[in-house]
Amino acid sequence: MKHSEKVGFSFGITSGVITTLGLMVGLHSGTHSKLVVLGGIITIAIADAFSDALGIHISEESECKHSRKEIWTSTLTTFFTKLFFALTFAVPVLLLELTTAVAVSIVWGLLALGWLSYRVAREEKENVWKVVFEHIGIAVVVIIITHFVGDFVAAVFV
């Protein structure tokens, strides 16, 4: 895989897991509404995919060392990876009871992030378990914080 594809793929999956799980968990704990959670997933899949793709585009341009083709490859790979991956979280929400769907999504997201982290660590010849636990640990912190933020918002504003 070329550098520009790796950038888009790894960023798209990581952002897809972290932002979508954070949003899902926060919306679930704050509303307990399947419609709200599903709407959030679809919205973040579109809006954040565009945002992340533009962020990667500008970041790659600012390095002044990539060709236009490499920059656009990173941009489009980020967009489509983030869009697709974020939308995978809608499947459990459509098929399962909401609390179960959120739990299944957390497992799915952490497995995907763990797999990506494992691949990156192996390629970089880093301590695999250290990298995997570091990345999953960050995701778990986001999940915990967004759960309590959802609870807070529901308690204060509902």
pLDDT digits (tens, 9 = 90+) for 51-108: 999 999 999 999 999 999 999 999 999 999 999 999 999 999 999 999 999 999 999 9
Domain positions in the chain are 3-151
Q: Take residue 14 and report the two structure tokens written for it.
A: 């990581």
Give the confidence band of 158 by pLDDT, cuts at 50, 70, 90.
confident
Residue 3 has pLDDT above 90, yes or no: no
Q: Mean pLDDT score of the chain, rounded to an integer?
A: 96
Q: Take residue 54 and report the two structure tokens written for it.
A: 């533009």
Query: Are 136 and 110 a contacting pair, CB within 8 Å?
Result: yes
**Between 3 and 49, where is the model more confident?**
49
Which letter does DSSP use for residue 63 in this model? T
- Collapsing DSSP to helix, strand or coil, 88 comes out as helix
pLDDT tens for 97-153 read 999 999 999 999 999 999 999 999 999 999 999 999 999 999 999 999 999 999 999
Percent of the chain scored above 90 by pLDDT? 95
pTM comes to 0.93
Which letter does DSSP use for residue 89 in this model? T
